[in-house]
Amino acid sequence: MGEQPYRSATELVDAMAGGEVSAVELAEEAIARIERYDATLNAVCVRDFDRAIDAARAADAARARGDARPLLGVPMTVKESFHVAGLPTTWGIPEFKDFVADEDAVAVERVEAAGAVVLGKTNVPLVLGDVQSYNAIYGTTGNPWDPGLTPGGSSGGSSAALAAGYGALSIGSDIGGSLRNPAHYCGVYAHKPTLGLLPLRGHTAPGMPVLPAESDLAVIGPMARTASDLALLLDVLAGPDPLGSGIAYRLALPAPRHTELADYRVLVVDTHPLIPTAASVRTAIGNVADALTEAGAKVERDSPLLPDQADTARVYMHLLMSTLGARYPAEIYEHTRAAAAQLDPADESLAAERTRGTVLSHRDWLAADGRRAVLRQRWSELFAEFDVVIYPVMPTPAFPHDHSPMGSRRISIDGADHDYLDQIALAGAATLPGLPATALPIGLSEDGLPIGVQAIGPMYGDRTTIRFAELVEREFGGFTPPPLDS
């Protein structure tokens, strides 16, 4: 079963059911591990250890009575951006450092109802707006593979916690790759669900009303160290909000398209027309493509069915920044409006598109939404011929912490500098059309850092992409523990 800190949730449930270990022992071990390593990593920014031990005792008592809930006694963490009753929710915003939630998010209600033991909350960047995880309240989270590197963001505290063995599961969120890039950087698993599959209520910025609202792009989703644990946690989390569409609807996700790797039809994409990927990333993806071919899968390296990825990135930047810009302070919004007016109409750079998107008119938003509908239909046509698309998560492995002003940051890709925010174009491939995407580790770079890919699937094909990740894990391996003690 391997080292106990790195056992999967499925293994832990079996171990507790067999009397090998108790929920209290697992909680105490996870707490001890946090206390040992987190002075360096700073992944768990809000500790809830007393209530975790109480929940573990209750889980042991429930199991003794014959209770067999799916997460009974499993230690896990929750991203700081989710409301947990009695704990602060700040989103890293200093003005809200004393804000304490008085009710649980729906996702938290569901994991606790399933018997999970919540150890605490994991760190995030300011307003969840970065592929790093640092803020003025809680400080900087380091990557367990090298604390001087980013663990990703905005769910970077969760990915670091998983890689460090702080519990078997976590829940995060994603609008710009915030589930997927942390998984890639830390060598763990995450699943960005089909848009609307999991209820968002309670994943709410402090000071905002907690409502059963829907989002245009954002999702919440499971994170784990194995693909099968993603499926386990997805089943707990999924389903409509009982205060919203759950009044009338029930969820019935289709089964995976295939149960054997050789039956999958796979399109492999290793770069992007507007942001290159590093040689280490392309090599890792190429190795997986070769291995899939050897395993009998039908693998293609190109297809005319793939929607225009440059157009996808531009539309994504419009809609993403329109969503984010709506909450900008008036002074910043007006400054951006003036900057957009000065742009050369021929400038189609992603930086220009982000500026335009921030101040998009409703008329132009509807036009962008129409372009999205066309792209979504093209994805549907592609998935009549393919089951999953392997796609880069980020251009490079984890990079050093960079707290310089966002607008001046650059990302170095094989020695060439690129706009820092252009990286999130890779997230938009699945986010714009609302498709499911499972992030899975596929190996290490020449520098010994994790590299992942995202397996994008058809709308509501969440079980198809997760099953694919399970089969890849079984055939070629998955999570590797980082060298925490070296």
Q: What is the pLDDT of residues 136-147, one digit of tens each?
A: 999 999 999 999
Determine the residue type at 182.
P
pLDDT of 200-230, one tens digit each? 999 999 999 999 988 999 999 999 999 999 9
Structure confidence at residue 472 (pLDDT): 99
pLDDT digits (tens, 9 = 90+) for 381-392: 999 999 999 999
Helix (H), strand (E) at residue 53: helix 49-64
Residue-wise pLDDT tens digits, 413-442: 999 999 999 999 999 999 999 999 999 999
Query: At 2, is the pLDDT very low, low, confident or very high (cuts 50, 70, 90)?
Result: very low
Asked if residue 296 has pLDDT above 90, the reply is yes
- Provide mean pLDDT across the span 86-95: 98
Q: Supply the mean pLDDT for the chain.
A: 98
In the block, residue with structure tokens 């059911």: 17
Q: Decide if pLDDT at 486 tops 70.
A: no
Q: Peptide bond before 349: cis, by omega within 30 degrees of 0?
A: no
Residue corresponding to tokens 């607008």: 407
**CB count, 10 Å around CB of 29?**
16
| Cα–Cα distance for residue pair 93/130, rounded to 1 Å | 13
DSSP state of 22: -
Is the pLDDT assigned to residue 243 strictly greater than 90?
yes
**Distances 389 to 55, 177, 197, 276 between C-alpha atoms, Å:** 40, 16, 20, 18
Residues contacting 448, CB < 8 A, separation 6+ = 145
Percent share of the chain, pLDDT over 90 = 98
Q: Please report where in the chains the tokens 């531009």 appear, as a residue.
A: 314
Q: Is the dihedral of CA 150, 155, 158, 159 positive or negative?
A: negative
Closest CA to 314 of 348, 345, 280: 348
Can you give the length of the chain in residues?
Answer: 486
Residue 485's pLDDT band, with cuts at 50, 70 and 90, is confident
Q: How far is CA 89 from CA 205, 213, 466, in A?
A: 8, 18, 30
- Compute the distance between CA of residue 399 and CA of residue 397 in angstroms, rounded to an integer: 6
Q: How confident is the model at residue 97 (pLDDT cuts 50, 70, 90)?
A: very high
Task: Return the closest-CA partner of residue 237 out of 216, 219, 222.
Answer: 222
Count of CA atoms in the C-beta half-sphere (13 A) of 397: 23
Burial, 326: exposed, middle or buried (Cβ in 10 Å; 0-12, 13-18, 19+)?
exposed
Asked if residue 105 has pLDDT above 90, the reply is yes
119-123, 130-134, 326-330: the lowest-pLDDT one: 326-330
Contact in structure between 57 and 24 (CB atoms under 8 Å): yes
pLDDT band at 299 (very low <50, low <70, confident <90, very high): very high
**Per-residue pLDDT tens digits for 250-264:** 999 999 999 999 999
Which residues are part of the catalytic machinery?
A: 79, 154, 178
CA–CA separation, 95 and 379 (whole Å): 42
Of 257 and 326, the one with more pLDDT: 257
pLDDT at residue 3, rounded to an integer: 57
Alpha-carbon span 385 to 305, nearest angstrom = 9
Domains and CATH numbers, the chain: 9-243 (3.90.1300.10)
Mean pLDDT of all residues in 157-178: 99
Share above pLDDT 70 across residues of the chain, in percent, rounded to a whole number: 99
What pLDDT digit, counting tens, does each position of 397-414 carry? 999 999 999 999 999 999
| Predicted local distance difference test score (pLDDT) of residue 1 | 37
DSSP code at position 33:
H
